[in-house]
Amino acid sequence: MSDVLEAVQRGRVLRLFLNRPQKRNALNAELCRALAGALEDAGRDPQIGAILLTGNGIAFCAGMDLGEIAQGSVEEINRAHERLFTIGARLATPLVAAVQGAALGGGTGLVANCHVVIAAEDASFGLTEIRLGLWPFLVFRAVAAALGERRTLEMALTGRALEAREAKEIGLAHEIAPDADARALEVAESIAAFSPTAIRQGMGFVHQVRGQDWNAAGQIARRVRNEVFRSPDFQEGIRAFREKRQPRWPSLAEPGQ
């Protein structure tokens, strides 16, 4: 693991910490590559049921590392950003964010790629690139997928920062908590305790139906649901419900789980 990214696994939750606190966790190419690689690896690891992303220091992520841009490695950074800011559309493992302090520019792009977002009361968000004579080209798609194009366009045109309350109102954050890290860990552990089969099939379904028309999406939904109906996890879930006990998911007992 790179020095700019820390990883700690606790049970079935992998915790990833952006670790450039002196730069407010600004995204240089090294951090982008390390984070994308760690997320992709976690998505293939059956022992990880959820990922929790946060930042060390006072900020979640202040966006792009402008110092690196000035050094002329634009194409390398473009490739690293493209890989990272499309991760939410590919990742099959639920990604939870604990956001404290600023999540601006690329930081908002990271948040938009997460599936559940817990914000601290001091969290702030925004597509602030326009202030620098830039546009949020590579994060725009992820933010628009989360919020809609019109809302994202307003954020990009005004460059204004949103406080946690407004971010929650528009759906960029799902919950505000006094201790965002503790609450996000609680959420991640809860998700990781659910059926791995249901999570894997459900996340796969969401990715498969993206961009499909209504009828094609319905066909996919029926096919995937029938597969889940036949799964040992669903049968165990029904038994546990009837017996008023916690389920013991068979997929967690499979080799490598």
**pLDDT of 257 strictly over 60:** no
Task: Decide: residue 8, CB within 10 A, 0-12 exposed, 13-18 middle, 19+ buried.
Answer: exposed
As a CATH number, domain 196-253 is 1.10.12.10
Residue 40 annotated as catalytic: no
pLDDT of residue 70: 65
Whose CA is closest to 27, among 105, 97, 90?
105
In the set 68, 75, 121, 129, the catalytic residue is 129
Partners of 125 in beta bridges: 103, 162
What pLDDT, in 10s, does the model give residues 103-124? 999 999 999 999 999 999 999 9
Return d(Cα 114, Cα 99) in angstroms, integer: 11
Whose CA is closest to 122, among 158, 167, 154?
167
Asked whether 49 and 93 are in contact (CB, 8 A), the reply is yes
As a CATH number, domain 5-192 is 3.90.226.10
What pLDDT, in 10s, does the model give residues 8-46? 999 999 999 999 999 999 999 999 999 999 999 999 999
What pLDDT, in 10s, does the model give residues 168-208? 999 999 999 999 999 999 999 999 999 999 999 999 999 99
Residue 13 has a CB neighbour count (10 Å cut-off) of: 23
Under DSSP, the state recorded for 113 is H
> How far does Cα 75 stand from its chain's mean position?
24
Angle between helices 140-147 and 106-113 in degrees, nearest 10: 50
Whose CA is closest to 65, among 32, 30, 26?
26
Q: Where are the domains of the chain?
A: 5-192, 196-253
**pLDDT of 255 strictly over 80:** no
What pLDDT, in 10s, does the model give residues 206-238? 999 998 999 999 999 999 999 999 999 999 999
Provide the phi-psi class of 86: left if phi over 0, else alpha when psi is between -120 and 50, else beta: alpha
The torsion of the CA quartet 61, 162, 153, 168, rounded to 10 degrees, works out to 100
Residue 18 has a CB neighbour count (10 Å cut-off) of: 26
